[in-house]
Amino acid sequence: MCHQTVSLVARHLESNGIPTVVLGAARDIVTHCGVPRFAFVDLPLGNPSGKPYDRDMQAAIATAAIDLFETASEPGTVVTLPYRWSDDESWRDGYFKVSVANTDALRRAGEERRAARAHLRATGQVRTE
């Protein structure tokens, strides 16, 4: 959801004269929305600007994102940055995993979430604008 939020903000800034670059890891969400310039990094959600403590990777990623301001010449330009999280690709399966093993836990989590939301709405603890 963070990727959709910044995509919408980027579109608004760009429409009002401020060129933007989105640097992110959820490629499908950003390209589905459509942004002017997108530097895509295929890293886990949470570390869009590089692996923790890997200063070389972080410097390269941010620099490439800045370069995109000047190299993009048309809307919807996507550049895939050539950085990998690890040789082991198993990390890809962990986020929002749904399996037989966690079916009951997910159902309970959903019930708790709906109850919490209902309480916040009932007590006025929500945005109103």
Partner 1 sequence: MISRSFREAATGAMAEPIGYMERTRRYYEAQGFGKAYTWAHFDDVPFTPLPKPVSDSTLVLITTMALYDRGASDVRHVASCSTGEPPVRLYGDDLSWDRTATHLEDRESYFPINVLNELVRRGRIGALADRFHCAPTEYSQRRTRQADAPEILKRCREDRADIALLVPI
Where in 15-74 is the site for partner 1 (CB under 8 A)? 15-24, 26-29, 31-36, 40, 42, 44-53, 55, 58-59, 61-63, 65-66, 69-70, 74
Half-sphere exposure of 13 (CA within 13 A, CB side): 14
Distance CA(129)–CA(111), nearest Å, equals 27
Enclosing H/E stretch for 81? strand 77-81
Q: What gap in Å lies between CA 38 and CA 76, rounded to an integer?
A: 7
Residue 121 binds partner 1 (CB under 8 A) = no
Report the site for partner 1 in 93-112 (rule: CB under 8 A): 94-98, 103, 106-107, 109-111
> For partner 1, which residue of 7, 101, 118, 122 counts as binding (CB under 8 A)?
7
Structure token digits, residue 51: 């692996």
Q: How far is the CB of 103 from partner 1 (least distance, A)?
A: 7
Residue from 82, 87, 101, 122 touching partner 1 (CB under 8 A): that is 82
